[in-house]
């Protein structure tokens, strides 16, 4: 039926419909878990290099995420980013390097994360930072920055499948909030305010996708943009971790099922841990040393392996 409907729509609308179907494919924890199990069955057991690295990092990972005795620690916030970007819009102090690349991660480690205008921020036109309450939500953003020279050696499922769940669950939560008097009225107030300002607001999803396209890879279709990785061969992603008690957040009534917002600069010293692909651990270690940071360092593969020991429902739980 959806394919038949799509046939009568203009190409861009067809793409958006197809993207919507794809994004809601793993809309429940049960559907996502089934997909993760299938992925892991095809992937196989972690290679020896990952198992050995996990043994070395287990203590740090337990401190960050918890263990089977303490349960999953929900006191951490996460931000996914990459080594390089094509634009410095979000990181204004980034230094330009060859091939129109911007050294994002070094800039963040030196100067911190800075708020920026965000298409999906629902409360008004102010600069803010989005921080995920789930590691796997942030990891999808980090995964977008993987260039062809980097290969993840083991993962707990496809990062895109995790993103689809978080997106669908956020939309589900937002729809429910809009049906309540308080949040519904708040949403109407925001819309009226924007209408009075006579500003042009296109599709938020379109604008967000355009931002990803500029940052990472010049794909054109919606699905391609969502699934694309960086076209900078030597690029790779990182997940920055912050103690929730050290971040001053602002209340948001919508789009807040799995993320929080802050309008404050997050200083490098607030990064309590950073996760990178196993093959780039030494580079990241040198970067931390260069910036005089004592943040814990872990491999993303090892974090995935550690988190595989927790009940799946805890990994997708809303904690904001």
User: For residue 300, what is the DSSP state?
Assistant: H
- Between 230 and 185, residue with greater pLDDT: 230
pLDDT score for 7:
44
What are the tens digits of pLDDT across the range 183-219?
A: 666 666 666 655 554 444 445 555 555 565 555 555 5
Across all residues in the chain, what is the average pLDDT? 82
How far is residue 267's CA from residue 112's CA, in Å, rounded to a whole number?
Answer: 4
| Mean pLDDT across 17-25 | 62
- Between 27 and 263, residue with greater pLDDT: 263
What are the tens digits of pLDDT across the range 80-105?
A: 999 998 765 555 555 555 456 788 99
104 alpha-carbon distance from chain centroid: 16
- Between 13 and 87, residue with greater pLDDT: 87
User: For residue 152, what is the DSSP state?
Assistant: -
Reported as a pLDDT band with limits 50, 70 and 90, residue 35 is very high
How far is residue 157's CA from residue 13's CA, in Å, rounded to a whole number?
Answer: 29
pLDDT score for 1:
37
Provide φ and ψ at 130, rounded to 5°.
-100, 130
- Between 92 and 4, residue with greater pLDDT: 92
- Between 303 and 181, residue with greater pLDDT: 303
Q: Which residue ranges make up each domain of the chain?
A: 2-315
Reported as a pLDDT band with limits 50, 70 and 90, residue 172 is confident
Name the packing angle between helices 181-196 and 159-178 (round to 10°). 90
Nearest to 158 by CA among 133, 139, 135, 179: 139
């Amino acid at each position: 039926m959806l394919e038949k409907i799509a046939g009568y729509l203009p190409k861009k609308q067809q793409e958006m419909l197809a993207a919507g179907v794809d994004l809601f494919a793993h809309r429940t924890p049960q559907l996502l878990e089934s997909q993760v199990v299938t992925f892991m069955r095809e992937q196989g057991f972690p290679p020896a290099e990952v198992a050995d690295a996990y043994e070395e990092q287990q203590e740090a990972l337990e401190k960050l995420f918890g263990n089977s005795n303490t349960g999953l620690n929900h006191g951490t916030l996460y931000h996914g980013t990459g080594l390089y970007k094509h634009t410095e819009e979000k990181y204004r102090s980034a230094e330009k390097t060859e091939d129109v690349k911007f050294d994002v991660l070094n800039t963040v480690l030196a100067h911190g994360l800075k708020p920026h205008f965000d298409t999906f921020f629902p409360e008004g036109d102010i600069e803010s930072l989005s921080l995920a309450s789930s590691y796997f939500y942030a990891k999808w953003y980090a995964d977008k920055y993987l260039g062809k020279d980097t290969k993840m050696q083991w993962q707990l499922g496809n990062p895109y499948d995790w993103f689809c769940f978080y997106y669908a669950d956020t939309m589900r939560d937002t729809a429910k909030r809009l049906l309540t008097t308080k949040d519904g009225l708040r949403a109407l107030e925001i819309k009226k305010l924007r209408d009075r300002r006579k500003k042009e607001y296109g599709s938020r999803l379109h604008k967000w996708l355009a931002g990803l396209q500029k940052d990472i890879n010049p794909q054109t279709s919606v699905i391609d943009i969502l699934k694309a990785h960086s076209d900078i061969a030597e690029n790779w992603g990182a997940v920055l971790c912050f103690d929730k008690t050290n971040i001053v957040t602002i209340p948001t009534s919508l789009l807040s099922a799995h993320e929080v917002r802050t309008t404050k600069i997050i200083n490098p010293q607030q990064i309590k841990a950073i996760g990178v692909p196993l093959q780039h651990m030494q580079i990241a270690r040198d970067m931390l040393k260069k910036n005089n940071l004592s943040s814990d360092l872990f491999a993303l593969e090892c974090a995935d392996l550690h988190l595989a020991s927790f009940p799946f429902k805890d990994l997708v739980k809303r904690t904001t």
